[in-house]
Chains A and B, each alone.
Chain A
Amino acid sequence: MAEKRKATKKDEFLKIRLLAEGVRYEVEGQPQWFTVNKFTDVVVVFDNCDMVAETRENPRSRLTVSIDGHDVTISEMGEVLDTGTLQPTAPWRNALMSDGTKVDYAVFGTNGTRFIDTFNRCFAYDSGKGCKFCGAGHGYYAEGGPSLSLSGILQRAERPIEATVVAIEHGLRNVLLIGGAAPPEQRDQFTTDLFEGIMNRFRACLDDDLLSQVAFTPSVYPPSDFGQFHKWKALSINAVEMDCQVMDPAYFKAICPGRGDQKHWFEAQEAAVEVFGRNGGCAASVILGIEPMDGMLAGVEERVSKGVKITPLMYKPFPPSPMTAMQPATAEWYQEAFGKISEIFVRYGLPAMDGAERQSRLAEQTIYV
């Protein structure tokens, strides 16, 4: 086994390239558990530094990811750049439910998080103002059928909750409650009732000690009454994610026209920080590469200064969104952006992003496609 070393800037740059430029895949032998569902599962662990890197397919890329069983070779126009292995799945993904079904088949998620599906439609999309980058709103939620009632959502969530309970018993510790954008009239008490129903089911299956070890985070459009946050906290919800996605106000309006007033999002984030705590109590994803650097950085700094935990994600095309054909920025752009965001984090007392974090969690969303 090769001796491990610290990740370098070069490793980080290669990791960024795998998403920014995409890769061509060559599959020699395929491990049994590897689904190759449009290659969304190809996550590579670099041999020499254990850095974990997502990939995306681009048939015109100069980069090639060759997969032979679990082994991966990354090359550029024939020159080998690095080697690695496919990231193994977390053991609890293969845990069995009472009827013998694998957890992975009963609830969406990634190696680190399971998603409990809430609203089955997206209000932004349904009102003709879906976020331009979002393939979930224009795909999964657009085909979500008639809007479900509270009892309908809870009924639909029962099996995913059952699967997630099994996963928690096998080590999972992150659960995201996520769905399409709720219509405005359902963002307050309706949402609180929904979370109460979901959390009651978890509480019925898990003892208090185990329950307290799990981070339950809803990802929502902000309620009009921020007092709802106190009610959610009382339900054992630990944090709230309100993803403003875009920082420059003019770009926010262009890219996320269905999200309404950006100021309301910011006020809600600050209220959530008050209730759940700074630097983790309220998270907000920002998609890097869809707005110019200067406005994005100014916005990130302003949000971080208010205690909001910003999660920078690399943009990648997300079919069938209106921006599907738009390509990510250059790898150099992302490296500069991550560097400057990291400086902001350090300035406000947060840990700098290390190389392993500098890529994307957006792949988590592509599971919906």
Chain B
Amino acid sequence: MTEKRNITEEDVLLKIRIPDAGVEVKKPPTTAAVPWGPRLILDGTDIVLRRLTMLPNPQAPLQIVIDGNDATISDMGKVVATGKMEEPPTWCDMLMSDGTTRVGDVFPSNMPTECYLLLGGGGCFAYDTGRTCRYCGFYVEAARGMPSPPPTGARPSQERAIEAVALAAKNGWRGCIQIVGGLLPPKLRGEWFTDTVEMIMTQFREFLGDDDILAELQIAVDNAPPNDLGEFHKWKGFGISSIEIDTEVLDPDWFKAICPAKSKRLWDEGQEAAAEVFGRGRGSSNLFVLGLEPMAGMLEGVEERVSKGVYVMPSPFTAHPYAPMAGMGAPSLEWFREAYEKIIDIYLKYGDTFDIPLTDDDRWGYTRRGRSLYAWDDDMTRRLQEMGKLPPGLPSQYGIEPVSWV
């Protein structure tokens, strides 16, 4: 077994480059199928690599060769890392109540740390009104394969998804459940919104039947702010523990250009109200797309939000093939490295103003120490390891192992 070691800057850079790697499979892994695709755990650091394209690309400088459960990563022919294909959690092979379906086949996620329960029926107010977020091609793509989309406000039947998540949670899965959907139209951000959240949570609680487990999960509603921010108190009563209201862009002028259907003021106010009700940090989060706007305005926006108790999560920009910004370039690796460094500086500056200081937060969900979803998670771990706040190696990522580290 490779000895555990701390994460280095080179490890973080390597992870940033992973989406551009070519992948050659010499012998397929023996691990069972998982809904989130193959993931690779690096030897020594435990960094998780996802978004492996699984396609050969001999022209890519970075190459991953998969040979059974072993993987080797090389850069222009020089081996830079080795790793193992991730073993799926045992609950993936459990059977649902129908006696035939594997939980892993229904678990609603493309990553094992988070899963999605749907709010509405497949539409997006921004797309439907011709003002889709410029980086987003999700609804353009969805509309191509959807001859008759569900009517606005239709609530999808997702009993099986809810059952799968509940079964997983009862058998060790921990992470964040996002109650999510395309941007709701303003008319559905009132009573309809609260009723839907209540309906989903009622079903989930019935399947789960264990309030102790419920309390360990991060359960976040991810959409526009409700018309009446006072609704957050009701949602908390349903078992919601967090609100995610994504501005995607932080500089106000770039926000208007890139997300013309959203209101920065309403989104910001919603985040601040959520921090009041659900707690600073984990209780209010804001995903944004890193690389769409220049550094200075982005950092200013991050600091302003974090100072208000909002946990800001950078998701690196890659052009979606159906988005208006398809084909447009992302910044350089060095830019991402610098951005991560400075964002983490901001976190460390304000982290102890959160409900639980960020450097000590081991709760499941976004703010958990030692997460390895995005490269900036690993960069945060690198900093915490430097500070002596985390040991070498990473903790369990989604609860299948007893938590015995630190």
Task: Show the binding face of A for B, using Cβ within 8 Å.
Answer: 60, 62, 76-77, 132, 248, 250-251, 253-254, 257, 289, 291-295, 322-323, 325-330, 332-333, 336
- CB of B257 closer than 8 Å to a CB of A: yes
Question: A253 contacts B257, CB within 8 Å?
Answer: yes
- The contact of A292 among B134, B256, B293, by CB within 8 Å, is B134
CB of A261 to closest CB in B, whole Å: 14
CB distance from A203 to the nearest CB of B (A): 44
State whether B334 touches A325 (Cβ < 8 A): yes
Residues of chain A with a CB closer than 8 A to B253's CB: 253-254, 257
Complex interface: chain B residues within 8 A of A295 (CB): 324
**Residue positions of B touching A, CB distance < 8 A:** 58-59, 61, 134, 251, 253-254, 256-257, 260, 291, 293-296, 319, 324-335, 338
Expressed in whole angstroms, the Cα–Cα distance for A295 and B325 within the complex equals: 11
Please give the distance in Å from A24's CB to the nearest CB on chain B.
11
Instruction: Contacts A60-B61, A62-B61 given; indicate if A294 touches B256 (C-beta within 8 A).
Output: no
Min C-beta distance of B22 to chain A, whole Å: 11
A-B complex: 10 closest residue pairs judged by Cβ atoms: A333-B327, A325-B335, A327-B329, A250-B257, A322-B294, A292-B324, A254-B253, A325-B331, A254-B257, A254-B254
Is A250 a contact of B256 with CB atoms below 8 Å?
A: yes
What is the CA–CA distance of A336 and B329 in the complex, to the nearest angstrom?
A: 15
- A34-B280 Cα distance, complex, nearest whole Å: 59
Contact, CB under 8 Å: B328 / A289: yes
Some 23 contacts from A to B, beta carbons below 8 A apart, are A62-B61, A77-B58, A250-B256, A251-B257, A253-B257, A254-B253, A254-B293, A291-B257, A292-B324, A293-B324, A293-B327, A294-B324, A322-B294, A322-B296, A323-B294, A325-B332, A326-B329, A326-B330, A326-B331, A329-B328, A329-B329, A330-B319, A330-B328
B288 to chain A, nearest CB (A): 15
Whether the Cβ atoms of A254 and B327 lie closer than 8 Å is no
Query: Shortest beta-carbon distance, B170 to chain A, in Å?
Result: 46
Which residues of chain B have C-beta atoms less than 8 A from A328's C-beta?
329
A60, A323, A326, A333 pick with most chain B CB within 10 angstroms: A326
Complex Cα–Cα for A336 and B321 (A): 14
Report the Cα distance A54→B71, complex, angstroms. 40
Chain B residues in 8 Å Cβ range of A330: 319, 327-329
Most interface-central of A254, A293, A322 (chain B CB within 10 A)? A254
A247 to chain B, nearest CB (A): 12
Q: Give complex CA distance A289, B329 in Å.
A: 8
For A322, list chain B residues within 8 Å (CB).
294-296
**Residues A248 and B329 in contact in the complex (CB < 8 Å), given A60-B61, A254-B251, A325-B334:** no
Q: Which residues of B contact A254 (CB under 8 A)?
A: 251, 253-254, 256-257, 293
- Within 8 Å CB of A326, what residues of B? 291, 294, 329-331, 335
CB distance from A90 to the nearest CB of B (A): 32
Residue of B324, B329, B335 ringed by the most chain A CB atoms within 10 A = B329
Closest residue on chain B to residue A330 by CB atoms: B327
CA distance A234 to B294 in the complex (A): 43
**What is the total of A-B residue contacts with beta carbons within 8 Å?**
68
With A62-B61, A132-B294, A333-B328: A248-B257 Cβ-Cβ less than 8 Å: yes
Q: Which of B294, B319, B324 has the most CB of A within 10 A?
A: B294
Residue of B with least CB distance to A335? B327
Chain A residues with CB below 8 A from B330, complex form:
326-327
Q: Are A76 and B59 in contact (CB under 8 A)?
A: yes
Chain B neighbourhood of A76, CB < 8 A: 59
Q: Chain A residues with Cβ under 8 A from B61's Cβ?
A: 60, 62
Complexed CA–CA distance, A327 and B333 (Å): 10
Give CA–CA (A355, B372) in the complex, Å.
46
Taking CB atoms, residues of chain A closer than 8 Å to B296 are: 322
Nearest chain B residue, comparing its CB with the CB of A322: B294
**Which residue of chain B is the closest to A291 with respect to CB atoms?**
B257
Complex interface: chain B residues within 8 A of A327 (CB): 329-332
Residue of B nearest to A337 (CB): B327
Alpha-carbon distance between A289 and B330 when the two chains are bound, in angstroms = 11
- Tell me whether A60 and B59 are in contact (CB under 8 A): no
Residue of A nearest to B135 (CB): A292
Please name all residues of chain B whose beta carbon is closer than 8 Å to the beta carbon of A323 when the two chains form the complex.
294
Partner of B333, one of A60, A62, A77, A332: A60
Contact in complex: A253, B256 (CB < 8 Å): yes
Q: Which residue of B lies closest to A332 (CB)?
A: B327
Cβ–Cβ < 8 Å partners of B294 in chain A: 132, 322-323, 326
A254 to B250, CA, bound (A): 12
- A132 to B295 Cα, complex, angstroms: 10
Residues of A contacting B291 with CB < 8 Å? Answer: 326
Question: Complex: how many Å from CA A322 to CA B338?
Answer: 13
Residue of B nearest to A294 (CB): B324
Q: How far is the CA of A60 from the CA of B59 in the complex (A)?
A: 12
Residues of A within 8 A of B325 (CB): 292
- Nearest A residue (CB) for B259: A250
A306 to chain B, nearest CB (A): 23
Q: Please, which residues of chain B bring their CB within 8 A of the CB of A248? A: 257
Of all chain A residues, which has the CB nearest B324?
A: A292
- Within the complex, the shortest CB–CB distance from B331 to chain A, in Å, comes to 4
Give the docked Cα–Cα distance between A292 and B328 (Å).
8
| Distance to closest chain B CB from A243 (angstroms) | 19
* CB-defined contacts of A329 to chain B, threshold 8 Å: 327-329
Cα(A325)–Cα(B134), bound, Å: 20
Q: How far is the CA of A183 from the CA of B403 in the complex (A)?
A: 63
CB neighbours of A333 from chain B (8 A):
326-328
CB-CB under 8 A from B335, the residues of chain A are 325-326
In addition to A254-B254, A325-B332, 17 A-B residue pairs with Cβ atoms within 8 Å of each other are A62-B59, A77-B59, A132-B294, A248-B257, A253-B256, A254-B251, A289-B329, A292-B134, A292-B324, A293-B324, A293-B326, A325-B295, A326-B291, A326-B294, A326-B331, A330-B327, A336-B327
Alpha-carbon distance A62/B75, docked complex (angstroms) = 12
Taking the nearest CB of chain B, how far is it from the CB of A255, in angstroms?
Answer: 8
